[in-house]
Chains A and B, each alone.
Chain A
Amino acid sequence: MLTGMPLDGRIVHEFRSILGHSGVISSPEELHTYECDGLTNFRVMPCAVLLPTSTEQVQAIVHICHREKIPFVARGSGTGLSGGALPVENGIVLSLARMNRILEVDIPNARVVVEPGVINLDVTGRVQGHEYFYAPDPSSQSVCSIGGNVAENSGGAHCLKYGFTTTHVLGLEVVLPDGSLVHLGGKTLDTPGYDLAGVFVGSEGTLGVATKIILRIVKRPECVRTLLAAFPSTNEAGAAVSGIIAAGMLPAAIEMMDNLAIQAAEAAVHANYPDCGGLLLVELDGPVAEVEALLIHVEEISRSNGAWEIRVAQTDAERALVWKGRKAAFAAVGRISPNYIVQDGVIPRTALPQVMSEIERLSKENGLRVANVFHAGDGNLHPLVLYDRRIPGQEDAALALSFKILELCIAAGGSITGEHGVGEEKKSMMGKMFAEPDLATMQRVRCAFDPFQLSNPTKVFPTPRLCGEKPGEYVPHPLETAGLAERF
């Protein structure tokens, strides 16, 4: 069963008795706010939006959903870019926004325990007095929630060195889709049994609702240096990235922007970037002596790959400005185009020049501009396909183009998503990246958590699967049979 019946008054009443009047939103005007997330071209009106303030309330709600077989979609701040928090028809939205307390700060053990609605940046805010920080830093970190980060396994520029959300989540309290409460992982490492916390992180709300999260925090490094290098094109910049990695360095971040993205960032926040074909932003952190030595090395590698201007941010303010331009890049594209689609493909770093030239070709062929912002260190591309919704057919063409770019990523041995998730948007691409037995095995795991498919039921997987179905045996992937690829 994928969708429930429209809510009847009796159930709304039951929700009100649990949450009070202010905890249940059911008027159409107010529901509009919740009909999409950051991916605005998909919209579905939920039956109701519920705003619990405690784990017990979440459990009570989910119990009812389970009893009545009402699908539910958890929602953090609604900044997701793949439609993860898009409501499902005849379902409810469970907003965790009011569960936003930081429950425990344990500096000696470098742990922080939070409710899911806590905003990412607020974790760092609470511990920076002790010179700690919460490492995963999505560009949306001033608004997105930890619960959303957990569901998406969000990344950020500094994940190159520090790891993604999953590295920093040690334990979870989860309300399962039948309303029961479980604890996965914990404050200590390697709790006995399966690593279900590892499975839950990145499961996009399809395995239950996280109501408490144990995070690891990191001591601030002794020093941070940020360098900007201007290259004639992204090819030279890409070669410099390879050079840096080949030299055995692991910078805190390596970001790249192409000319169109630079123009957009300049128009939006006047980051004072050099006007060039490929801009590299490299951040090194750690002990002073080490960082200073490596910085010289990065400068050399950049120059020998054709960088014609290199700047090192001299003050915290300069550094902040450099980052502001990068973090604002998505929104900034709004300055140079009425509409745009953000994609999130990943390629092996070495495939960058080839994939970039293919993107350029596709862009020309389709008459649509593509701006490129990457987490270059880990090969995560964010092509921004620019279009104008008012021109008939252009939105569809832009969407089609963005999917062709993802196919390039798959063909290069990469992934359809590095951090934004599959959600609603990319589920049709899952069958191109994975073979049927791969997806069936994931679905079996899902059936263990959610046999009635109530938790964000229509997302991630291209075709729903009934949990009673018997899985089939191994069938070769289409690419494999064609001799084009080994498994993966």
Chain B
Amino acid sequence: MLNETENLFRGLLGSEAVHRTSPADAVSAVQPQFIVEPATEQQLAAALRLAHESKLAVIPRGGGTKLSWGNPPSRADLLLSTARLNRVLEHAWADLTVTIGAGCTIQTLQQTLAQHGQRLALDPLWPEKATVGGILSTNDSGALRLRFGALRDLIIGVTIALPDGTLASSGGKVVKNVAGYDLPKLATGALGTLGVITRAVFRLHPLPRNTRSFSVSAGHPDQAQKLVLAIQDSKLAHVALQIHFRAETPPSLDVLFEGPEAGLDAQATQLRSLCQSAGISEASPNVWNARQNLWPPPNSAAGVALGDSPEAFPLAIAKISILPADLAGTIALIRRAADSSHLRWKSLLYATGLGWLRLEGPAENVHHALISLRRNLEKSGGSLALLHRPAAFPAFDAWGTPADSLPLMQAVKRQLDPSHILNPGRFLSGL
């Protein structure tokens, strides 16, 4: 049976594009049978259609850095790799746009753009491995989001392949465009459950002429909260603002400025006067690696999913979303949940209200803490998504309680992936 199906894929894509998997290809301990690597978008769409007809569960894969995000798949037969769709198709630098294959890594993209002094104004995790399709599907964004927005604000066009073999484009190549529905936003953050992204078009920003980072120490979370709100309510033109909270040490803030030299000096002066009593110092740009540093170092030798070595690290990493004025309150909740479960913790929150939480300790205790934390965050309109879970973790839905729009989301899913072959079980409520 397996051979038969495999041969169909070989016939469609050529033998060099179809491989058996190894244990390193497992997705959250679920083992797919084979990998296909289509060379073109048309091939990818055809492969997806064949998978659909053969009733195979498909896990789209880019760089494989975030395959463990979300719930473990309920089934996984086929890894559909975008690795060969890795070209920068058109860098229209004078128009500040780029059209790019979904399998291109962020690092390659940024290097290409930098030749013309431009960038995708986003700081996703593991840029050397993460691909365009992967960051889009997981909606990965970092500290720069405060100023430049998330991927939803940067993507202007998308092409997706659907399980019936349709290859559909929407949006376009111009920054401003309202013709038709905004499917680039639908594909962004859908965790590959509606279609497989084959290419994207982004609006770009110039690389900054100069940047300066500052760190401000705050005595306690309430002071950190006050500082964040004061900076946000000021006329400073900072591009990023993050706050480190840890169990043992007082919180500290990092502020990033970009712009012409003259402007930056004035900004620094204003920041100093705004922070008054708090200690402030110039910081290294490395402070902006803080998010990635929450994860264990990548296991590059084995080439498996980054951070997917739970034995060595009994830890959980969650993304949380709250209102910017609830930072201090949220830290109090985290501290209480962590303390009562005897966990070590560390949290990095952004002025946007998004943040990351790292909990370390026995799986049962982490589980307990996450349940109570999620309940409290959801009560005040926030959310908690579990991205990285320890081995042997008790059942815990990665995404949380769906809104009243779940039936509508299910209807969208039915329209695009009616037989649930794309990433089954991984996303919110089985979408």
| A contact set with B: CB distance below 8 Å | 106-111, 152-153, 155, 159, 163-164, 166-167, 176, 180-184, 186-196, 198-199, 201-203, 219-222, 242, 245-246, 248-250, 286-290, 292-294, 346-350, 375, 378-380, 413-422, 426, 430, 433-435, 437-442, 444-449, 460, 471-474, 486-488
* Minimal Cβ-Cβ distance residue in A for B236: A287
Which chain B residues lie closer than 8 Å to A181 at the CB level?
404
Known: A415-B172, A488-B172. A167 touches B180 (CB 8 A): no
Interface centre among A166, A219, A222, A290 (most CB of B within 10 A): A290
* Minimal Cβ-Cβ distance residue in A for B408: A182
| B contact set with A: CB distance below 8 Å | 41-42, 45, 49, 89, 92, 94-97, 99, 117, 139, 149-150, 152-153, 157, 159-160, 162, 164-170, 172-183, 185-186, 188-190, 194, 199, 201, 205-207, 209, 229, 232-237, 259-260, 262-263, 265-267, 270, 319, 321-325, 352-354, 381-383, 385, 399-409, 411-412, 414-416, 427-429, 431
Which chain A residues lie closer than 8 Å to B96 at the CB level?
245
Known: A190-B321, A445-B415, A473-B164. A198 touches B235 (CB 8 A): no
Which chain B residues lie closer than 8 Å to A439 at the CB level?
180
Which chain A residues lie closer than 8 Å to B237 at the CB level?
221-222, 286-287, 290
A418 contacts B173, C-beta separation under 8 Å: no
Which chain B residues lie closer than 8 Å to A182 at the CB level?
403-405, 408
Instruction: Give the top 6 A-B pairs by smallest Cβ distance, nearest first.
Output: A198-B185, A290-B263, A248-B206, A441-B168, A448-B411, A415-B177
Nearest CB of A to B321, in Å: 4
A437 contacts B415, C-beta separation under 8 Å: no
Which chain A residues lie closer than 8 Å to B194 at the CB level?
194
B178 contacts A167, C-beta separation under 8 Å: no
B260 contacts A422, C-beta separation under 8 Å: no
Nearest CB of B to A470, in Å: 8
Which chain B residues lie closer than 8 Å to A196 at the CB level?
186, 405, 408-409, 412
Which chain A residues lie closer than 8 Å to B186 at the CB level?
194-196, 198-199, 445
B403 contacts A202, C-beta separation under 8 Å: no
Interface centre among B99, B164, B414 (most CB of A within 10 A): B164
Give Cα A108 to B206, complex, Å: 30
Interface centre among B206, B403, B409 (most CB of A within 10 A): B403
Interface centre among B180, B409, B427 (most CB of A within 10 A): B180
A109-B325, A188-B323, A442-B180 known; 20 new pairs, CB 8 Å cut-off, are A108-B233, A155-B178, A184-B405, A186-B381, A186-B403, A188-B353, A192-B385, A194-B189, A199-B183, A199-B185, A242-B94, A286-B237, A287-B267, A290-B259, A378-B174, A413-B172, A419-B178, A446-B181, A487-B41, A488-B201
Which chain A residues lie closer than 8 Å to B401 at the CB level?
192
Q: List 5 A-B contacts (CB under 8 A).
A: A183-B404, A193-B429, A219-B235, A293-B262, A346-B174
B263 contacts A187, C-beta separation under 8 Å: no
Which chain A residues lie closer than 8 Å to B205 at the CB level?
250
B189 contacts A188, C-beta separation under 8 Å: no
Interface centre among A155, A183, A190, A221 (most CB of B within 10 A): A190
